[in-house]
Amino acid sequence: MAPTCPKGQCPVLSQGTVEFPCCGDYRGDMNKVHLSDTDGCEEKVSEGPLVSIVDDDVSVRRSAQRLLTSSGLRVKVFASAEEFIQSGLVDETACLLLDMSMPGMNGLALQRRLAETGLRIPIIFLSARASEDEERRALQAGAVKFLHKPASKDELLQAIRAALDGATS
């Protein structure tokens, strides 16, 4: 039986997309290390390539993070392009899941900025409101995939794994 948090039980996260407890003996494909969080629960930390998620919608960030983490991927989330740039994790990011329409710097502007600095991060756009022109421009500028919200779990995981395989080969 998996251990529980000192407070009783591990929480069930909202939205029901992926049930991911904060503690226990869960190990994904690449996970090797467990650390204790401030509540005394074990928090898993993956080794391996980092997938960064940049989306202004908190529900998208949370559900994508749970899905990718439960699939054994190392994930960091950011509410804006500016937050991502200032994070210090840009150089470490092996794949970027990026929203098109955000306040401040939008997805195309972030893609352009990364290209100007010479960083070749595989980018997967995930957008609900992008025009055909924006989609075409993103792909012409080097995005590896353009998905429309809501994307299926399988479609998203397949795109990310393909991007990571391309980045590491």
Give the CATH number of the domain where residue 108 resides.
3.40.50.2300
Q: Residue 122: is the preceding peptide bond cis (ω within 30°)?
A: no
The answer, yes or no, to whether residue 22 has pLDDT greater than 80, is no
Has residue 39 been placed in a domain? no
Alpha-carbon span 127 to 142, nearest angstrom? 16
pLDDT digits 0-9 by tens, 56-99:
999 999 999 999 999 999 999 999 999 999 999 999 999 999 99
- Tell me the pTM: 0.73
Structural domain contains residue 32: no
The answer to whether residue 124 sits within a structural domain is yes
Q: Is the pLDDT of residue 2 over 80?
A: no
| Number of separate domains in the chain | 1
Residue 107, domain member (yes or no): yes
- Tens digits of per-residue pLDDT, 116-145? 999 899 999 999 988 999 999 999 999 999
| Amino acid at position 90, single letter | V
Query: Which two structure tokens, joined as six digits, stand for 99?
Result: 């929203």
Q: Is the pLDDT of residue 36 over 60?
A: no
Task: Give the other-Cβ count within 10 Å of 43's Cβ.
Answer: 13
pLDDT classification of 169: cutoffs 50, 70, 90? low
109 within domain boundaries = yes
pLDDT band at 168 (very low <50, low <70, confident <90, very high): low
In a domain, 4, yes or no: no
Instruction: Say if CB 107 and CB 127 are below 8 A apart.
Output: yes
The domain in which residue 86 lies consists of: 48-168
Domain-embedded: residue 146: yes
Instruction: Please give the residue that has the higher pLDDT: either 123 or 23.
Output: 123
Residue 145, domain member (yes or no) = yes
Is residue 96 within 8 Å of residue 121, measured between CB atoms? yes
